Amino acid sequence: MKIQIYTMQSLEEALATIAAGVDHIGITPGEYGLPGEVDFDTARAIVTMVGDDAVSVALTVDSDLNNIEEMVKAVQPDVLHLCGLEGSLPPEKVAQLRSRIPDLPIMQAISVSGPHAINTALAFQDVAEYLLLDTQDADIAGIGASGETHDWNISREIVQQVRIPVILAGGLSPENVANAIKLVRPWGVDSLTHTNHPLPNGSFRKDIESIKSFSTAALTAASEL
């Protein structure tokens, strides 16, 4: 079971998150108004520091291939996470992007808002190395960061039908991740909102103790499958 945690805002936070048992370190480079965004230089510094200790995953909600390629060149992550709004970057455009960055694995976010998500996932499996099943929030310019769960039965169907690794996201917490794993049986699980410590100014830092609890619960559940 792979553990992916978003979003790192400093070198210290990334190091502490890795020490808490996390496999994939999520970073949000850009200026889109997303939770936990960092500039390209900070993102690149985190990727460099992480090195081989974890997989660095950089998220973008952009649909402009030039902008995405610019971010990839500046940050140099191990994996590119595409989570623009549903329909903004269809499979044929992801295929074009792949031809421009052929050596970089792509993680495609799927909005699980109904049964149609199964066909959407199947359509992307030929142009991505990973799928991330998430919950879209109407107030956020991308798929994810809602802090809300979705219908895990649909996610389970996706896991059963696609042939590439699937990471389950969307409202996962130390309290519910075990049940999610037992039902969906994903390759990995992801958390942002429910492993945050809110700050008075409306921002957040990662709650390392919550991350440890999340990782322990996930690994224990996976070992019992």
Q: How far apart are CA 105 and CA 209, in angstroms?
A: 30
Domain boundaries of the chain, sorted by first residue: 2-223
Q: How far apart are CA 156 and CA 78, in angstroms?
A: 27
How deeply is 93 buried, as exposed, middle or buried, from its count of CB atoms within 10 A (0-12, 13-18, 19+)?
middle
The length of the chain in residues reads: 225
Q: How many CA atoms lie within 13 A of 27 on its CB side?
A: 35
The dihedrals phi and psi of 119, each to the nearest 5 degrees, come to -65, -35
Q: What is the pLDDT of residue 145?
A: 72
> Both ends of the chain: CA-CA distance in Å?
11
Mean pLDDT by 10 residues, the chain (225 residues): 96 96 96 90 97 96 96 98 88 96 96 94 97 83 76 97 97 96 98 90 89 97 94
Classify 2-223 by CATH class.
Answer: alpha beta
Q: Which of the 8 DSSP states describes residue 51? A: T
